[in-house]
Chain A
Amino acid sequence: MIDSLNEAVTLAEKAGCSLGEFALRQEAAEGLRSRAELEAGLQRALDVMRGAVARGLPGDLRSVSGLVGGDAAKLNRPTGPLSGTLFTDVLAGALAVQEVNAAMGVIVAAPTAGGAGVLPGVLLGLAGRGRLADAVVVRGLATAGLIGGVVALRASLSGAEGGCQAETGAAAAMAAGAGVEVLGGSPTVAAHAVALAMQGTLGLVCDPLGGLVEIPCVFRNATGAAIALAAIEMALAGIEFPIPADEVIDTMGEIGRSMDVRYRETAGGGLAATPTGRRLAKERLVQLKRSGK
């Protein structure tokens, strides 16, 4: 697999195809999986993502600890200035998937379970508003896969290694590139969207209460999706980020490696170490033990 977004963009532009199309051709040419297998796998992922959004939107789920759930449904009520727009669709989708995840429902880890809400939030939001065909969204997922692969090889996709910037940050970068793809933007524009999204999540720590994938993870998927949406809008408007995407990804890896262990999924720092964070985690874990769940 390709370890440079710049290289992928150059090759795709030369071939006159989109980044998602390039990703599918490239991996099929490597010979381990056929193009049909790749597309079938991505279509299944898309179906599961759709199912997870639909499952989470009604708001009747609670997480295993009981700490989160029911927030995606609140965005259905038209109160805020952006209600009824693509923006709230995206936020609600991201929250919905992450609430399903926290309630032990079925999701696609893309790139991880902790960051699983961002990509379906953004892509299904765009697909719903734009009535995009599944084949187009599948190419968007291929784009996201290519970007995630570059992040995995150059930096990390693990909160324990690189903080939340490596999970929801990477997911936002993937969703930004994928969003540009499904809206017909060029590979160069997609790469700018990746850089714009990732620069906005650099330094983000992984600080889950009690080590559970609940608080702030659920909310951070929604804000991650919002950052992806902002990056898509800016990139399609022709805004170029001056530092190339590969270098932004390398920066994320460098920051992750120098991040204190308290901020890497250990619940030793950040929001997890606040008085309220500690109290909530303790109360819920004690109750879980008592109830024998």
Chain B
Amino acid sequence: MVSILDIIGPVMVGPSSSHTAGACRIGLFARGLLGDTPERALVELHGSFARTGQGHGTDRAVVGGLLGFHPDDERLRESLDLAEAAGLAVTFQNTKLRGDHHPNTARITVTRGDREVTVVGSSVGAGRIVITSIDGFPVEITGTLPALIVVAADQPGAVAAVTTTLAKEGGNIATIKVSRRQKGGHAIHIYELDEPVGAQALEALRALPRVQSVRAIERVAT
């Protein structure tokens, strides 16, 4: 579905929808997953992000996203200075990620206290992104809808328990994906929802016996 507003938009800080707006959204997603501004971030840039990222402000865009700025926020330009003020220490590294990755890809590891999250995301054009990995679990998330990221025991009934709880709490599921690193360990469930779920639903989900963690992420893209 193409809207007039997809063509006449997005409103964004330049210079490149893929290297700037998309990069910002990958940062926003990592922040969302951590749930707060990170204290430390390792940003590994792959492919064209590594080659031309600096000239495109990809570094500032990712850090802006980690600080919670959206692609149209002029503070993206000063985000490296603002990160310092916010107590966020960022390390950049150019890397060659193993496996098949889109040319515009970043791996971001963020930590706060004892929490750590690693996200791999690609900017696939016109500011659209795809998150391809969370903590080593393969995923496919575009960030255009609010999402629930559930890690649960890889056992029968785990998905049913979550969807039943969501149904009770009135959350409508747009898409579901389940994947795992190995059989019988833990599986990751990605539920993309029409509307974000409330605190009560999150509490109910966290109380489920097979569920290890539940994280809710707002949408980061349009």
Residue A284 interfacial (CB < 8 Å): yes
User: Which B residues between 7 and 66 are near A, CB-CB below 8 angstroms?
Assistant: 7-17, 20-21, 48, 51-52, 54-57, 60
Number of residues of chain B lying within 8 A (CB) of chain A: 34
**Interface pair A152/B57, CB less than 8 Å apart:** no
Task: Give the size of the chain A interface in residues (CB under 8 angstroms).
Answer: 57
Q: Give the contact stretch, choosing among B70-78, B139-147, B158-166.
A: B70-78
B182 at the interface (CB under 8 A from A): no
* Number of CB contacts from chain A to chain B under 8 A: 147
Say whether A149 contacts B52, CB under 8 Å.
no
A sample of 10 more A-B contacts (CB under 8 A), given A44-B11, A106-B12, is: A45-B8, A105-B14, A107-B12, A108-B11, A109-B9, A149-B2, A149-B6, A174-B7, A211-B55, A293-B54
16 residue pairs from A and B, CB less than 8 Å apart: A24-B4, A32-B3, A41-B4, A41-B5, A44-B11, A64-B54, A101-B14, A105-B74, A108-B9, A109-B12, A109-B21, A146-B4, A149-B3, A210-B55, A211-B51, A288-B54
Q: Is the C-beta of A251 less than 8 angstroms from some C-beta in chain B?
A: no
* CB-CB under 8 A for A105 and B125, given A41-B5, A152-B2: no
Return A166 CB to nearest CB of chain B, in Å. 11
User: Could you say which of B5, B7, B56 has the most chain A C-beta atoms within 10 Å of its C-beta?
Assistant: B7
Q: When A63-B15, A104-B14, A105-B74 are in contact, do A285 and B55 touch as well, CB less than 8 Å?
A: yes
Q: Are B5 and A145 in contact (CB under 8 A)?
A: yes
Chain B residues contacting A174 (CB-CB under 8 Å) are: 7
On chain B, the residues within 8 Å of A119 by CB distance are 8
Minimum CB–CB distance from B125 to chain A (whole Å) comes to 5
* Highest count of chain A CB atoms <10 Å: which of B15, B51, B76, B127: B15
* Given contact pairs A211-B52, A293-B54, A113 touches B17 in the complex (Cβ within 8 A): yes
